[in-house]
A and B are shown apart, each in its own frame.
Chain A
């Protein structure tokens, strides 16, 4: 079992699926996250390296302040790599020179867990504050989107409130 930011990720699951356990991360975001961390599709949580787990935790703790990753140079068909003894500093320098600026990264705008719940809460509170129909329905604990209430309003009666947990 791997614990990341208070969420348990079972070892036997594929990492790409396990990340959907976070509130605010669905399958598309999870796929993008795995791509960012260079986790292949069929990687199980138990095969994640400590470095990858640390990176994941660091990224998810504040996605908006993460360092943007540049677009690394890729070999052309005629590229001959330098010998293996080339010092790492030289390679880093060359990679940095050839790297291009990244375009906008949708992952930096994601909100998870408490932040995502707060967004939902704020939206409902705003509707109530401005006195809209949506706000009134949330306050009464009834369906908001025009559903029938003669029968079948169970979920709304159970979950809808102004301080909705999200």
Chain B
């Protein structure tokens, strides 16, 4: 039985400072910052307030996931809802400079940005529900987080061809959360970020598709349009500094001359949905050539790009994912056929999706253990083998360490997820029942607790 929390927790914010002598910082933090103002939110994650047009609202009618909407405090005036315990959840803000081994196993809250990538790009369904229950979106920094961040720091100087990483691990171990942490880190470090929270939506026949004679693929203009819109909104300050380096040709209009601001190029794609796929291709190519800002392309449900799509062509044959424009674009960057001069491509597998399970080509490329006997007679599609070539696997540990689990427990307890008083017996009981698995610990352990 899930406990439904209807009261908003107010908290005092700690002034997050990276210049405190007691906090170990990353090497670049000693450089003076350019008058950055970090806006501190006074309320937690509320979901999308001003959703851009066409953005899907996940978990709206999803009865199975039971999307919780916390009631605002103003609607709960009755003294019964007053708590006897004072608000105790105080977390430091996730600042890139402070992410070192010292803060491992600490919970940090995600910063509230003006153009928050979470709000604009969207989130995977599980995480969206979790953030609705929490008073503010936060996560625990794990050792694998620091590993991923070190990889990102190294990747910022290299071509993205050399940094194509996929997070692997059993279901519920924290791959999507890790991707979110990487995304926030890059956004805070002034990277250009493009996040696809649910790659299944590219291949499950929920968006329009139309055959294009020039590219010989099935374009997905609406999804390309939405991606452009979100990319522009999140990265506007950085895109305003960039200009095109070559002439860009677009169908049915005069070519865009070199030196055009990238924002203007994106607006061409936003004015006419038919131009969106071409413009998106061109924009990614242009940001791949520039070396001012590194680029992060983050894709959750990464395995969906390698599975059979639900689309059918005009003869009712299944359309392969690499014959759809959006998955093809992502596959080209994931395989290194196209690359960013500086940046990385990060993917996170979703092992709990039965409609799009991990295919054998990707499993072999990432050198993962087989879940069933795959002999030499099992067909492997050569195109998918090629698109999966060179991917690096970053294994997320299947269980939280005791200190990490303790931080998770503290966050939920201080947020009053469980009505009983927190104690060691409850923590150890739930931790062992879940055998350290993060999702099982939170959902089946803490939130389903009857104690």
A-to-B contact residues, CB < 8 Å: 31-32, 34-36, 38, 40-43, 47, 69, 71-77, 79, 81-86, 88, 91-92, 94-95, 102-103, 105
Q: Which residue of A lies closest to B323 (CB)?
A: A74
CB-defined contacts of B249 to chain A, threshold 8 Å: 83-85
Instruction: Give the segment of B4-12, B116-124, B168-176, B312-320 that binds chain A.
Output: B312-320
B323 touches A75 (CB 8 A): yes
Specify which of B213, B255, B316, B383 is in contact with A35 (CB 8 Å cutoff): B316
CB-defined contacts of A40 to chain B, threshold 8 Å: 205-209, 311
Q: Once bound together, how far apart are the Cα atoms of A47 and B209, in whole Å? A: 13
User: Per DSSP, are chain A's interface residues mostly helix, strand or loop, or mixed?
Assistant: loop
B387 touches A75 (CB 8 A): no
Given A74-B323, A85-B255, residue A41 in contact with residue B216 (CB < 8 A): no
Q: A40-B208, A75-B323, A77-B383 are in contact. List 11 more A-B contacts (CB 8 A).
A: A40-B209, A41-B310, A73-B216, A74-B323, A81-B215, A81-B216, A84-B249, A85-B249, A86-B214, A88-B213, A94-B213
Which residues of chain B (186-244) have a CB below 8 Å from chain A? 204-211, 213-217
Q: Once bound together, how far apart are the Cα atoms of A79 and B322, in whole Å? A: 12
A84 touches B278 (CB 8 A): yes
Q: Once bound together, how far apart are the Cα atoms of A31 and B322, in whole Å? A: 22
Nearest 6 CB-CB pairings of A with B? A35-B312, A75-B216, A41-B205, A84-B249, A91-B213, A42-B206
A31 touches B312 (CB 8 A): yes
CB-defined contacts of A36 to chain B, threshold 8 Å: 314, 316
Q: Which residue of B lies closest to A43 (CB)?
A: B208
Specify which of B255, B314, B386 is in contact with A77 (CB 8 Å cutoff): B386
Q: Is B426 positioned at the interface, with any CB of A under 8 Å from its CB?
A: no
CB-defined contacts of B206 to chain A, threshold 8 Å: 40-42
Q: Once bound together, how far apart are the Cα atoms of A74 and B250, in whole Å? A: 21
Q: Once bound together, how far apart are the Cα atoms of A32 and B320, in whole Å? A: 17
Tally A-B pairs: CB < 8 A.
80
Q: Is B272 positioned at the interface, with any CB of A under 8 Å from its CB?
A: no
Q: Is B251 positioned at the interface, with any CB of A under 8 Å from its CB?
A: yes
Question: Chain B's nearest CB lies how many Å from the CB of A91?
Answer: 4
Question: Chain A's nearest CB lies how many Å from the CB of B96?
Answer: 36
B208 touches A84 (CB 8 A): no
B-to-A contact residues, CB < 8 Å: 204-211, 213-217, 249-251, 255, 278, 310-316, 320, 322-323, 328, 337, 383, 386-387
A69 touches B314 (CB 8 A): yes
CB-defined contacts of B251 to chain A, threshold 8 Å: 84
Q: Which residue of B lies closest to A106 (CB)?
A: B316
Question: Chain A's nearest CB lies how many Å from the CB of B314?
Answer: 5
B215 touches A75 (CB 8 A): yes
Q: Once bound together, how far apart are the Cα atoms of A103 and B64, in whole Å? A: 42
Question: Chain B's nearest CB lies how many Å from the CB of A109?
Answer: 14
A74 touches B315 (CB 8 A): no
B386 touches A79 (CB 8 A): no
Q: Once bound together, how far apart are the Cα atoms of A66 and B257, in whole Å? A: 44
CB-defined contacts of A86 to chain B, threshold 8 Å: 214
Question: Chain A's nearest CB lies how many Å from the CB of B62?
Answer: 14
CB-defined contacts of A92 to chain B, threshold 8 Å: 213
CB-defined contacts of B250 to chain A, threshold 8 Å: 84
Q: Once bound together, how far apart are the Cα atoms of A30 and B330, in whole Å? A: 31
A105 touches B209 (CB 8 A): no
Q: Which residue of B lies closest to A73 (CB)?
A: B216
CB-defined contacts of A82 to chain B, threshold 8 Å: 214
Q: Which residue of B lies closest to A82 (CB)?
A: B214
Q: Once bound together, how far apart are the Cα atoms of A95 and B221, in whole Å? A: 21
Q: Once bound together, how far apart are the Cα atoms of A31 and B205, in whole Å? A: 12
CB-defined contacts of B322 to chain A, threshold 8 Å: 75, 77
Q: Once bound together, how far apart are the Cα atoms of A38 and B222, in whole Å? A: 14
Can you report 20 residue pairs joining A to B where beta carbons are below 8 Å apart? Answer: A35-B313, A36-B316, A42-B206, A69-B315, A71-B315, A72-B216, A72-B313, A73-B216, A74-B323, A75-B215, A75-B322, A76-B383, A77-B386, A81-B214, A83-B249, A84-B251, A85-B249, A85-B255, A94-B213, A105-B315
B207 touches A38 (CB 8 A): no
Given A38-B210, A40-B209, residue A75 in contact with residue B315 (CB < 8 A): no
CB-defined contacts of A41 to chain B, threshold 8 Å: 204-206, 310
Question: Chain B's nearest CB lies how many Å from the CB of A54?
Answer: 16
Question: Chain B's nearest CB lies how many Å from the CB of A43?
Answer: 7
CB-defined contacts of A85 to chain B, threshold 8 Å: 249, 255
CB-defined contacts of A83 to chain B, threshold 8 Å: 249
A77 touches B208 (CB 8 A): no
Q: Once bound together, how far apart are the Cα atoms of A107 and B328, in whole Å? A: 30
Q: Once bound together, how far apart are the Cα atoms of A40 and B207, in whole Å? A: 6
CB-defined contacts of B217 to chain A, threshold 8 Å: 74-75
Q: Once bound together, how far apart are the Cα atoms of A34 and B205, in whole Å? A: 11
Q: Which residue of B lies closest to A71 (CB)?
A: B315
Q: Which residue of A lies closest to B332 (CB)?
A: A77
A38 touches B209 (CB 8 A): yes
Q: Once bound together, how far apart are the Cα atoms of A34 and B313, in whole Å? A: 9
CB-defined contacts of B211 to chain A, threshold 8 Å: 38, 72
